[in-house]
Structures are given as C-alpha cells and as structure tokens.
Structure 1
Amino acid sequence: MDFTPTEEQRAASRLAAEILTDLSTPERLATLGTAADAELWKALCAAGLPAAVEEIGLLGLVLLLEEQGRTTAQVPLAAGCVYGLLAVGAYGSEEQRERLLPGLRRGEEVAAGAFVRGAGGPRAAGVRAEVVRPVAGAGPGAPVRGLLSGAVPVVPWLCAATLLLVPDAERRLWLVPAAGPGVVIAPVATTAPWSAGRLTLADAPAELLGDEGGGRAYEGVLAAARTAFAGLQAGVCAGSLARAVAHTTTREQFGRPLSTNQAVLLRAADAYMDTEAIRLTAYEAAWRRDAGLDAGTHALTAAWWASEAGTRVVHSGQHLHGGIGADVEHPVHRHFLWGRQLAAYLGSGAELLEELGDLLTKEDRA
C-alpha cells in the first residue's frame, strides 16, 4: 500500500485548501444559516475540483474533503461526488454517463444519496423506498424505468440537490430528478447546519442506474460513501484539534500556558492519535477502491473510527477550550456539531462493528 498522493492529488488538495480558507471564514459561515454556500460551490466548480475527482480518484476526493472538514465549508462536495460523479461514472450506462456527467462535472447538477440510515448500513437499502411498476426502456440502451414510493426521513444536502440516488428494497439504485413529479422535499434541522431535508416519493418516475439488478453497485457506492464521509470527519477533527492547540498554547493560567499542563497534553495527544487513525483508515479504504480491490470491510473500519473516535476528538476540542468551547458562536463549536452529525450519519459504533463482524464471518466461511 502506498498512500503517497500523486502530484495531481497534491495540486488539487492545495487548490482546495486555498479556496476554502479564503471563502469559508467563520464570519461568512455565521451568515449562511443552514443554506449551502452557492458562491463557494461556484468557485470550487470553476476551479474544476469536483470534475477532477474522476482523475484523482476516491483517495483524491478524501484529500479534498479533509480540507473541507478543516473549515466546515457548507458545500455538498462529498454527496455530489460520491452519489453523482463516482456512482454514475462507475455504474451508469454509456448513455447515462454521456447525459449526466457533464452537468455533474460543472456543478450544475448536484447529487444526494437518499439512504435510510447513515451512509448506508445493513437495513438501509430501500427500507422506505418501494419500487412499483418498473418497465423496460423502449429503445436500445434506454434505462430501465420505474415508479418509486416511500419516504426517507433525513437526506443530507437534499435541499441543494438536483439529482437523487435512491436504493430500493432489492438494493437496486435509482436516479430520480429532485424537481420531478411525485417528489416532495421538506427541509429538516440536523445537528450540523447542513442543507438537509425529508424526502417523500409518491409514484415518482425513476431510472435504474446502469443495468444492475442489485448488489454490486449498491455495495460499491456504500463503501465509497463511508470512505468519503470518514475523510471529511478526519478534516473536521484536524480542524478542531488545531483550534484547541492554538488556544491552549496562547491562553495562560497561573502564569503559564495551558499547554504545559500534563492533562491538557495527554488529552490533545489522544485526540491526535484518534485523528490519525481516522485519516489512515480512510486512506486505506480509498486506495483499495482506486486500485480495484475489495474495500467493503476497510470502508466499515474507517466509518467505525470516524464515528467513535471522531466523537471523542470533537468533544476534546471543545473541552480544551474551557468555558468558551460551549459558546455556540465560537468556531470550535461548529466542528463539534459537524463531528456529531457525521457520526450520526455514518451510524453508531456498535452498529458498524456488528455489520463488520457479520461481513468478516461470511468472508471466513467463503
């Protein structure tokens, strides 16, 4: 395994860091509320960063998402790339790729994944999305079409999306226009200020992603989503820890910096180790996916670290700020909210471990 970024990945990461640092400031974030930052998204797309993910791969996307996490920038980069560009590029038909990828590359189309629980999970595939009356396409190469009915309580970045990726009970993936008939979107509040919403489908016209009958495409998108959001969590934790380090090295108590207190040092060291564990497991899962290797168990491992350790890190970042860490207007509090939201989206540690154990047991029997 070699996690050393390529020159293209390094260049994309540096460019993302520059744009995000310049535009996603605490003052700007305070004025956005729960809305997606349209100006920042436009700047990222103008720089060609979402489109570059096709070339730099999932590992490159993880590097971009780390930079987003450091600034908690309110843009649908993870969802748009994982559920849009990478999903259509890997599993879409030739006709779907030609029709959908140009808009996704330019950022004119933004995808969201309407999974029921977290970024996936053993019961997430279509629990509340029932496919009805699917019919075959009329012409050669035309996608299989169907009508979807059901509801998904919370879909991250739904209110910013134009295209939805919806799994059904058989783990087939369907593409649904967000503004299409039978689609009702209602904004919902989440822990973090994401542009999230509740999705209700009532005989909504949809097309099957590629010609997959269920299974392979779903598992691939699920693993990629878990890896990407784990990478985002690594950035959130790194940003929280950086703020805590800056605070404790400049704030004095009893005539010396807080950072000289052994308890503070140990708490920060534990947070650093947790952050590195999230980062490295996300890198490994992404590298395996880009190399064409099975990454399901590795993505689950990254998701577990992101959920369990991520929660510890953002709590530490807040606690190391003392009383001001509880101030909802302090920048470190935003990292706390993002870390908690990402942990909830990926699923609890117990759920992820249970699924990982089941998957490893099946592999051993095979």
Structure 2
Amino acid sequence: MDFHPTEEQAAAASLAARIFHDLATHERLAAAGTGSDAELWKALTAAGLTAAVEEVGLLGLVLLLEEQGRTTAQVPYAATCAYGVLPVAAHGSSEQRARLLPALGSGEAVATGAFPARRTVTAGSDGRLTGTAPVVPWLRDATHVLVPDRDRTLWLVRTDAPGVATRPVETTAPWSAGSLTLTGAPAERLGGPDAHDAVLAAARTAFAGLQAGVCAGSLARAVEYTSTREQFGRPLSTNQGVMLRAADAHMDTEAIRVTAYEAAWRIDEGLPAREHALTAAWWASEAGKRVVHTGQHLHGGMGADLEHPVHRHFLWGRQLDAYLGCGSELLSELGALISEGEKSDGEKKGEDA
C-alpha cells in the first residue's frame, strides 16, 4: 500500500484547500443558511476540481473531501463526485461518458444519489421508475439523481423529467436535501449488475474522507480555543483532562483517515475493497460522532452556542454518522460479508480435497 499522494493529487488538494479557506468562511456559511454557496461551487468547477476527480481517482477525491470537511463548505461536491463523476467514468457507456462527464466537470450538471437504498423504487420493463426516496442529500441542487431499484440496478434520472417530483427536506446538516418521488419517470441504466456494490463502496469511502475533514476541523477549533482560553491563570489546554480528550479525538480522526485512504487505494488499484469500505464507514460513524462531541465539549459553554462555528462541525459529524449506514448496521453488513467469504473459502477447500 502506498498512501503518498501523487503530484497531481497533492496539487489538487492544495488548490482545494486554498479555495475552501478563502470562500467557505463562517460569515458566508451563516449567510447561506441551509442552501448551497453558488459562488463557491462556481469557483471549484472553474478551477477544474470536479473534472480532476476522473484523473486523481478515489484516493484523490478523499484528499479533496477532507478539505471540504475542514470548512464544512456547503456545496454539492461530494455528491457530484461520488454519484456522478466516478460512477459515470467507471460504469458508463462511451456515449454516457462523452455526454455526461463534461457537464459534470463544468458544474453545468450536478449529481446526487438516492442512497442508502431502501428498495422502495421499482423499474418497469420500459426503464421507467416508480417509488420514493424520503431523503436525498443535495437534491435541491441536482440535475441528475443516481437511483438504485429493488434489484440493485442503477438508473440515472433527470430531476426535470416528467414523473419526477421533489420537495425540500431539512436534515441535521445543511445539505440542501429533498425527498424524491418517481411516478413512471424515464431513466437510463448505468452499468451492469456489479455497479451498485462498487458505487456504494466508493461512496462510503468518499464520505468517510469527508468525515475525516469534519473531525479535523472540529479538533483544530477546539485546540485553538483551549490554547487561548485561560482558567485560573493558565490555558485550558494545560489541564490533563483536556489533553486526554484532545488526544483521543486525534487518534479517532487518524483512524478514520487511514481506513479511508486504504479503502480508496484498493478501489483505485482494482483490488477487493468492500470490507475495507465498510471498515472506513464504521470508523467514520462511530469515531466521527465521538470527535465532534469532543470538539463541542472542549469549547465549554461556547460549544452550546448554535451560532458558533464548531456547532456546524457537530451537525455535519452527526449527519455523516448515520449516512450510508450507522455503526451497528455497518458491523452487521461487514459480519455477513466476512462470514460469506469464510463459507466460500471452506467450500473451495472441500472441493480441492
């Protein structure tokens, strides 16, 4: 395994860090409310950071999403890349890639996904979809939605197509979410029978990278606050209890990061990675909520202020905790996957004997 970023990945992450730092300020985020920042989205796409994901791969995307997470920037970047650029590049036909990738890269098209799949959407023999997805992140910004049906087949749906209805939904984090209702909506199939599991594994890995950034940003704010805030004539950071909480949060953040890196690297290399993606998602869920709780707690009374920047990290961390599967769900799925693998190995050994 080699987690060292390539020159292209490092350059893209550095550029993203500058753009997010300059434009995703507390004042701009507060002004955006629960909506997305159109100017920031335009700056990201104009800089080529959406189109670049096709070249830097999933590991590069994880690095880029860390930078988004550090600032909790309100743009549909994670969704467009995880449910648009990467799936189309990996599973789309040559015609779909030629038609969709330029629009996704320029920001003309915005993608999201109706994940996790609840098997509430059915596809007719004519490729028309019927069903509902109660909560879809960044749906209010999206032009295309990647929808899995009951058979785990993936379909791309345009939000302006006949038979498609959307309604705003507020979530814990301000993700411009909405509910999706399909009534005989036309759709185009994306990929073959293996596409669903591959896209879900990549999405879980990508959002784990986003969570790593959210946690890093929360912890950085807590370190800054406790280093400057004094109690009884000395900084709060000199108290043993504060140091231990911060150290535990740092280790949790690193665990999220390294498991996301490993899963992303394996997916980019074409290696089996479903177990690794589930592991990264579990750390993002379980450790992520611990870190954002710590970040808020270490701010003391200031952490209870809903307008304080650290509260935004708390909201994002809790949203990501449950998105694409909470800890217990992920462990159950991981256990079933491991058991299935062990059963297959045992049958193979029996055949060899």
Unaligned runs of 5+ in 2: 345-353
Out of 283, 306, 320, the position equivalent to 1:328 is 306
In the alignment, what sits opposite 1:138?
none
- AA aligned to 2:238 is T
Normalised to the residue count of structure 2, the TM-score between the two structures is 0.96
Alpha-carbon distance, 1:365 to partner: 1.4
In the alignment, what sits opposite 1:152?
133
* C-alpha separation in 2, matches of 1:346 and 1:331: 25
Question: Which deviations, in whole Å up to 9, do the C-alpha atoms of 1:78-107 show, x marking residues without a partner?
Answer: 110111011011001111111111101111
In the alignment, what sits opposite 1:121?
none
Question: Which deviations, in whole Å up to 9, do the C-alpha atoms of 1:280-305 show, x marking residues without a partner?
Answer: 00000000011111111100000000
- AA aligned to 2:264 is A
Alpha-carbon distance, 1:133 to partner: 2.9
Q: Kindly indicate whether residue 162 of structure 2 is the aligned counterpart of residue 181 of structure 1.
A: yes
Checking the alignment, whether the CA contact within 8 Å between 1:59 and 1:286 is kept in structure 2 is: yes
* C-alpha separation in 2, matches of 1:346 and 1:75: 19
Question: Which deviations, in whole Å up to 9, do the C-alpha atoms of 1:146-176 show, x marking residues without a partner?
Answer: 1100000100011110011000111100011
* C-alpha separation in 2, matches of 1:360 and 1:37: 42
Q: Kindly report structure 1 stretches of 4+ aligned residues shifted beyond 6 Å.
A: none
Q: Kindly indicate whether residue 92 of structure 2 is the aligned counterpart of residue 100 of structure 1.
A: no
* C-alpha separation in 1, matches of 2:213 and 2:160: 32
Q: Kindly indicate whether residue 108 of structure 2 is the aligned counterpart of residue 127 of structure 1.
A: no
CA RMSD of aligned residues (A): 0.8
Q: Kindly indicate whether residue 111 of structure 2 is the aligned counterpart of residue 111 of structure 1.
A: yes
Unaligned runs of 5+ in 1: 118-123, 135-145
In the alignment, what sits opposite 2:267?
289
- AA aligned to 2:218 is S
Alpha-carbon distance, 1:109 to partner: 0.5
- AA aligned to 1:263 is G
- AA aligned to 2:241 is A
Alpha-carbon distance, 1:364 to partner: 1.2
* C-alpha separation in 1, matches of 2:320 and 2:150: 25
Q: Kindly indicate whether residue 81 of structure 2 is the aligned counterpart of residue 81 of structure 1.
A: yes
Other structure's SS at 2:140 match: helix
Other structure's SS at 1:74 match: coil
Alpha-carbon distance, 1:132 to partner: 1.5
Aligned pair count? 344
In the alignment, what sits opposite 1:339?
317
Other structure's SS at 2:51 match: helix
Alpha-carbon distance, 1:347 to partner: 1.9
Other structure's SS at 1:133 match: coil
Alpha-carbon distance, 1:241 to partner: 0.1
Other structure's SS at 1:10 match: helix
Other structure's SS at 1:159 match: coil
Other structure's SS at 1:51 match: coil
- AA aligned to 2:202 is A
Normalised to the residue count of structure 1, the TM-score between the two structures is 0.93
In the alignment, what sits opposite 1:25?
25
